[in-house]
Amino acid sequence: MSKRFKSNQFYFPILQLPTFQDERGLLTVLDDILPFEIKRTYWIYGADGQVRGGHRHHKTRQALIAISGVVVVHMDDGLVCDDIQLDSPSRCLLVEPKDWHTMSFGVNSVLLVISSEHYNRSDYIDERYSHHD
């Protein structure tokens, strides 16, 4: 029987991306920091108040970055679940294939998704983990 508990901030990995600031603004860099080769990149926007996702994968690894606004990502790996707020373009959440996830979008949010695989519907697992409390 699995136990389900709320994680601390270090269970699901969040990368702090290098960010440089001067009088002209901020520049955040994503360069050789992801633990996978990038094969697909897309962004989700115009989803104010919507919940998207609701799946995990067989193979695909992802990196999620809220480029603008706030996106709350619910993560569940079958043992641990947590809600992680992405509210800075310098924070990058790593989503492993085992991580069932949903994304709740705040007003004017833009979520950048970087993926280790090209789109393949057969890689998706839509069923949630069943927990026994």
Distance CA 130, CA 133 (A): 10
Task: List residues with catalytic annotation.
Answer: 55
Torsion of CA 19, 119, 95, 131, to 10 degrees: 160
78 phi and psi, to 5 degrees?
95, -20
92 phi and psi, to 5 degrees?
-130, 115
